[in-house]
Amino acid sequence: MIGLQGEHLGLYKADGLDNANWLSASEPPKKQPLTWYKVIVDPPSGNEPIGLDMIHMGKGLAWLNGEEIGRYWPWKSSIHDECVQKCDYRGKFMPNKCYTGCGEPTQRWYHVPRSWFKPSGNVLVIFEEKGGDPTKINFSRRKISGVCALVAEDYPSVESWPENGKEHNKTKTSAYLKCPENTSISTIKFASFGTPTGTCGSYSKGDCHDPNSTSAVEKVCLNKNECAIEITEDNFSTGLCSVATKKLAVEAVCS
């Protein structure tokens, strides 16, 4: 069915699917604007979070079993000469500061809660406004194989915030790691207390580094689903280096 009439008829609702004569086709129309698509799908296996990959579509709305996934529009951002891979917002503000993701889709995957799926016979309805290739729509699972943590030793905890002029008892600053359900921390890929640099997946040691960082984290976290590494003298050399503030960076593998 073509056009906005489908929205008026409620074709995306469970009780509105029969309000139109759907055309069955082994090869649905492509690059056709104002078109409604319907397909029966099974839920993806596993228990990982699910995303609907709409990179090959133009612009429109999507529903699963009458639940609105939302509006999709994988519009590609403009290509800019000053685009950077990493951004540091410190310093003077400028409107053209920190361009990232240039030429890439502003959004590609759209979250679909697993609770919306039935064991079988799930109805996915798409209303495409501009025209795309529905044969390339697919569900993707987000598999987490590792986790990271980065925290400074003077990071304030909620318990340390003052209230009514009185200060709570301060809790120890900690770095927290948690793997997905039914997995555990099998390897500490990186650990450094001092002045580590980089981001998750590309941490590196700085000029100040406690050589016992990895063993300290392994002692607390290995073979656990989640853990909290306290930044204390018992775990790290907190008096290490003449640096105003030191940080703990950790990357762990979940399996």
How far apart, in whole angstroms, are the C-alpha atoms of residue 111 and residue 69?
Answer: 7
**Domain check: are 165 and 137 in the same one?**
no
**How would you class 183 by CB atoms within 10 Å of its CB: exposed for 0-12, middle for 13-18, buried for 19 or more?**
middle
Percent of the chain whose predicted confidence (pLDDT) is above 70:
88
The CATH number for 110's domain is: 2.60.120
**Domain check: are 157 and 108 in the same one?**
no
């999507």: which residue's tokens? Answer: 62
DSSP assignments along 23-82, one per residue: PP-SS---S-SSEEEEEEEPPPSSSS-EEEE-TT--SEEEEETTEEEEEE--PBPPP-TT
Phi-psi region of 98 (alpha: psi -120 to 50; beta: other; left: phi over 0): left
**Domain check: are 223 and 128 in the same one?**
no
Q: What is the pLDDT of residues 179-204, one digit of tens each?
A: 988 899 999 999 999 999 988 999 99
Q: What is the pLDDT of residues 8-60, one digit of tens each?
A: 888 888 888 888 888 888 889 999 999 999 999 999 998 889 999 999 999 99
Residues 6 or more apart whose CB falls under 8 angstroms from that of 253 comprise 145, 146, 185, 186, 187, 188, 189
Q: What global pTM score does this model have? A: 0.67
Residue 236's pLDDT is 93
User: Domain containing 39: what range?
Assistant: 5-141
**Domain check: are 116 and 43 in the same one?**
yes
**Domain check: are 34 and 122 in the same one?**
yes
Residue 129's pLDDT is 94
Residues 6 or more apart whose CB falls under 8 angstroms from that of 117 comprise 43, 64, 65
Q: Which of 85, 108, 141 is the last residue of a domain?
A: 141
How far apart, in whole angstroms, are the C-alpha atoms of residue 73 and residue 176?
Answer: 35
